[in-house]
Amino acid sequence: MDPVSAKTEERPDIVLDLDRLKKNCNDNLTIIVELLNHLSQKSGPKWVGAIEEGIKSENSEEIREVCHGMKGASATIFAWRISNLALEFEYLARDKKIQGLSARMGELKNAFVEFEEWVKANPDLV
């Protein structure tokens, strides 16, 4: 994978930049499918649950840490919408704006649903 981080202007509000992901994975569809499935089926639900728990317990530091990891992992595979939301959530958690986080959970969940639907609609990326 490309070790260079994307600049802000390279983070469009799209579900996935498949062309960049393919390029960084040398068009290895096995790896690409594995990465996409992991985010949609394992990491995503785990992160959403951890953020919801952090909101319930008002643990903004835990939320910030989860969002930081979510931001980086989703950016690594060019899942920009999730990564961009994770960045916004990280800032809200840093500023201890628990109610703001709670109010925007639906937006984050929708981004993961949208990503999961995209993955299901493109099982072999053909």
Enter the pTM of the model: 0.87
For residue range 38-72, what is the model confidence (pLDDT) as tens digits? 999 999 999 999 999 999 999 999 999 999 999 99
User: Cα–Cα distance between 65 and 68 in angstroms, integer?
Assistant: 5
Mean per-residue pLDDT, 88-96: 97
- Reported as a single tens digit per residue, the pLDDT across 15-41 is 999 999 999 999 999 999 999 999 999
CATH topology of domain 27-120: Four Helix Bundle (Hemerythrin (Met), subunit A) (1.20.120)
Q: Give dist(CA 4, CA 89) in Å, integer.
A: 23
Which of 64, 70, 63, 73 is CA-nearest to residue 5?
73
d(CA 126, CA 45): 26
Alpha-carbon gap, residue 7 to 86, rounded angstroms = 16
Report the pLDDT value the prediction gives residue 94, as an integer from 0 to 100: 97
Task: Give the residue extent of every domain in the chain.
Answer: 27-120
